[in-house]
Chain A
Amino acid sequence: MADIIVDIKNLHKSFAGSKILDDISLQVCKGENLVVFGRSGTGKSVLLKCIIGLLKPESGQIFIEGSNTLNMSDKQLNAVRKEIGFLFQSGALYDSMTVRENLAFPLIRNFKFSNEEVNKKVISALELVDLVEAIDKTPSELSGGMRKRIALARTIITEPKLMLYDEPTTGLDPLTTKEISELIIDLQKKLNMTSIVVTHDLICASIIADRAIFLKDAIIQYQGTIEELTSSKDPFLRNFFSRDFIKA
């Protein structure tokens, strides 16, 4: 069996008495790209936020490379977080900083690189997302697609082992969606990362996914490859992945 990088056991999370994640167990292997599907409000982003430690589950265990993150001190958790990248739905770029400062920020704060090394890393991360020309712009001067790319560059600049993507293509046109998805898969191959991608987007999922799970009623209702899910005879899945409404 391949090395497991993320191992979630019996995870429970609820908000105001409403169950969002109910006894979720999940394993992700090194180098695997897992896509998490589900309708809005079914706990996909909550699952990612529990993995990174932004939300504390009521019970369960989350192992990252064998260490239970829920029993860790802040210092230990931060050491684990340095190995994980998180791409927010909105990009979450620091709007008081330029693109250069956004990318340099985690390097300056967490590592002891010289100014020259930081500059080199910033430029090479921007080259990967093909946006070197935006280096001295502020986030407000960037388009939605450019923001996603810059946010992606900021996330991969520390070369994380595990990437968590929260709806990376939401709000983008189909062409930009395809470009971002191909960029994600390209980076994953270049940097040998493992990815967990939360998305509703079938274009994105079909490019990225090795395996997909479907969250419904707070549990993992379905799992398999994208082909298995999209060709399923299950009425709910057929309805979810149906494109008939486009013709209507």
Chain B
Amino acid sequence: MKISTENKTSAIGILNEYFSTIGGLTLFTIEFLRKCLLPPYDFAEIRKHMDELGVKTLPIVSITGFIIGLVLAMQSQPIMVRFGAESFLPSMVSLSVVRELGPVLTALIFAGRVSSGIGAELGSMRVTEQIDAMEVSAINPFKFLVVTRVIATTLILPLLSLYVMFIAVIGGYIGLIISQKMNFSYYTGAVLIAIKMGDFLPSLLKTFVFGFIVGIVGAYKGYNAGNGTEGVGKASTTSVVLASLLILIFDSLLVKLTLWLWPT
């Protein structure tokens, strides 16, 4: 099949943009690691961002968490009954939520809400010269704007994921009692027996990585935004796409790693 010159050029352009994004993001991450170790430490600013980001995302992740648990239980119930394994429903729902669905879906929602927000906010500050204004005032904008936000997202996502896991397990119970009788104490007992530290700990650890991805991608896209308002919009949308993609890629890598470290 012949490839036209125009298609070739656009393919080269896409590849070029892909590699420059990967390279830029890597350098940006190195700069973050370098800067976050150096004083001054903006604890108040980190706390402020954690507060804002957590509160902003809480309603949407609450609804999502509850519905995940509810739907998972309702969908699984007839199948488990078919195999005569309905007594395993509490374990199945809770393990699915704790090991995979809770962390990944929370991270994806968090990326949609927060990564785009950081991208738009920093992008807007870039195009209105507010970042330059900080720089000429002898204030390090990278440290004040990027480091604080990335640390905040890295710390707040595990907390949100824990909360989503809890809500989803509650949602799972509601889903089960809609279609069958189940004692709440039997359900909680089965859940607590099913979830081991080896299920819980790796999934919690990977949410730190997802939180870091959400923050660093949003900050990278926003901090390097250009071309006026168009650039701000682009920073906002591309940060969601890139953050979501990286979350899924890192999830598959971390699943492999955790299975190796904590074999079931």
Most A-side CB within 10 Å, residue of B130, B132, B136: B136
Q: How far is the CB of A122 from chain B (nearest CB, A)?
A: 15
Interface size class of A (residues with CB under 8 A): 20 to 34
Q: Which residues of B are found within 8 Å of A82, using beta-carbon distances? A: 138
Q: Are A79 and B128 in contact (CB under 8 A)?
A: no
Q: How far is the CB of B70 from chain A (nearest CB, A)?
A: 38
Q: Which residues of A are found within 8 Å of B121, using beta-carbon distances? A: 96
Q: Is B129 at the interface (CB under 8 A from chain A)?
A: yes
Q: How far is the CB of A74 from chain B (nearest CB, A)?
A: 8
Within 8 A of B (CB), among A64-96: 78-79, 81-82, 84, 86, 88-90, 92-96
Q: How far is the CB of B135 from chain A (nearest CB, A)?
A: 6
Contact with B136, one of A81, A90, A93, A105 (Cβ below 8 angstroms): A81
Interface string of B16-53 (1 = CB under 8 A from A): 00000000000000000000000000000000000000
Residue of B nearest to A97 (CB): B130
Q: Which residues of A are found within 8 Å of B134, using beta-carbon distances? A: 94
Within 8 A of A (CB), among B115-147: 121, 124-125, 128-130, 132-140, 144
Q: Is A247 at the interface (CB under 8 A from chain B)?
A: no
Contact with B130, one of A52, A53, A54, A94 (Cβ below 8 angstroms): A94
Q: Does more than half of chain A's interface fall in helix, strand or loop, or is it mixed?
A: loop
Residue of A nearest to B144 (CB): A109
Instruction: Take A90-B128, A92-B128 as given contacts and tell me if A78 and B138 are in contact as well, using a CB distance cutoff of 8 Å.
Output: yes
Total number of residue pairs linking A and B with CB closer than 8 Å: 50
Q: A-B pairs with the 9 shortest C-beta distances?
A: A92-B133, A78-B138, A92-B129, A81-B138, A86-B136, A106-B137, A109-B139, A82-B138, A88-B129
Q: Which residues of A are found within 8 Å of B135, using beta-carbon distances? A: 54
Q: Which residues of B are found within 8 Å of A231, using beta-carbon distances? A: none
Q: How far is the CB of B39 from chain A (nearest CB, A)?
A: 12
In the assembled complex, the Cα of A94 lies from the Cα of B130 at a distance in Å of 6
Interface size class of B (residues with CB under 8 A): 10 to 19
In the assembled complex, the Cα of A114 lies from the Cα of B139 at a distance in Å of 19
In the assembled complex, the Cα of A175 lies from the Cα of B5 at a distance in Å of 58
Q: Is A115 at the interface (CB under 8 A from chain B)?
A: no
Contact with A88, one of B124, B132, B140, B144 (Cβ below 8 angstroms): B132
Within 8 A of A (CB), among B46-81: none
In the assembled complex, the Cα of A89 lies from the Cα of B135 at a distance in Å of 16
Q: Is A176 at the interface (CB under 8 A from chain B)?
A: no
In the assembled complex, the Cα of A110 lies from the Cα of B40 at a distance in Å of 11
Q: How far is the CB of A53 from chain B (nearest CB, A)?
A: 8
Q: Which residues of A are found within 8 Å of B130, using beta-carbon distances? A: 92-95
Contact with A79, one of B132, B138, B139 (Cβ below 8 angstroms): B138
Q: Are B139 and A110 in contact (CB under 8 A)?
A: yes
Q: How far is the CB of B228 from chain A (nearest CB, A)?
A: 12
In the assembled complex, the Cα of A109 lies from the Cα of B144 at a distance in Å of 10
Chain A to chain B contacts (Cβ below 8 Å), 24 pairs = A52-B136, A54-B132, A78-B138, A78-B140, A81-B137, A82-B138, A86-B133, A86-B137, A88-B129, A90-B128, A92-B132, A92-B133, A93-B130, A93-B133, A94-B125, A94-B134, A95-B130, A96-B121, A106-B138, A106-B139, A109-B137, A109-B139, A110-B138, A110-B139
Q: Are A110 and B137 in contact (CB under 8 A)?
A: yes
Most B-side CB within 10 Å, residue of A52, A81, A92, A94: A92
Q: Which residues of A are found within 8 Å of B132, using beta-carbon distances? A: 54, 88, 92
Residue of B nearest to A74 (CB): B140
Q: Which residues of B are found within 8 Å of A86, using beta-carbon distances? A: 133, 136-137
Q: Are A90 and B129 in contact (CB under 8 A)?
A: yes
Q: Which residues of B are found within 8 Å of A52, using beta-carbon distances? A: 136
Q: Which residues of B are found within 8 Å of A78, using beta-carbon distances? A: 138, 140
Extra pairs beyond A53-B136, A81-B137, A109-B144 (20, CB < 8 Å): A54-B132, A54-B135, A78-B138, A78-B140, A86-B136, A88-B133, A90-B128, A90-B129, A92-B129, A92-B130, A92-B132, A93-B130, A94-B130, A95-B128, A105-B139, A106-B137, A106-B138, A106-B139, A109-B138, A110-B137
In the assembled complex, the Cα of A81 lies from the Cα of B133 at a distance in Å of 11
Interface string of A98-125 (1 = CB under 8 A from B): 0000000110011000000000000000
In the assembled complex, the Cα of A109 lies from the Cα of B42 at a distance in Å of 10
In the assembled complex, the Cα of A78 lies from the Cα of B130 at a distance in Å of 17
In the assembled complex, the Cα of A21 lies from the Cα of B136 at a distance in Å of 21
Residue of B nearest to A164 (CB): B136
Q: How far is the CB of A180 from chain B (nearest CB, A)?
A: 18
In the assembled complex, the Cα of A118 lies from the Cα of B34 at a distance in Å of 31
Residue of A nearest to B121 (CB): A96
In the assembled complex, the Cα of A82 lies from the Cα of B139 at a distance in Å of 9
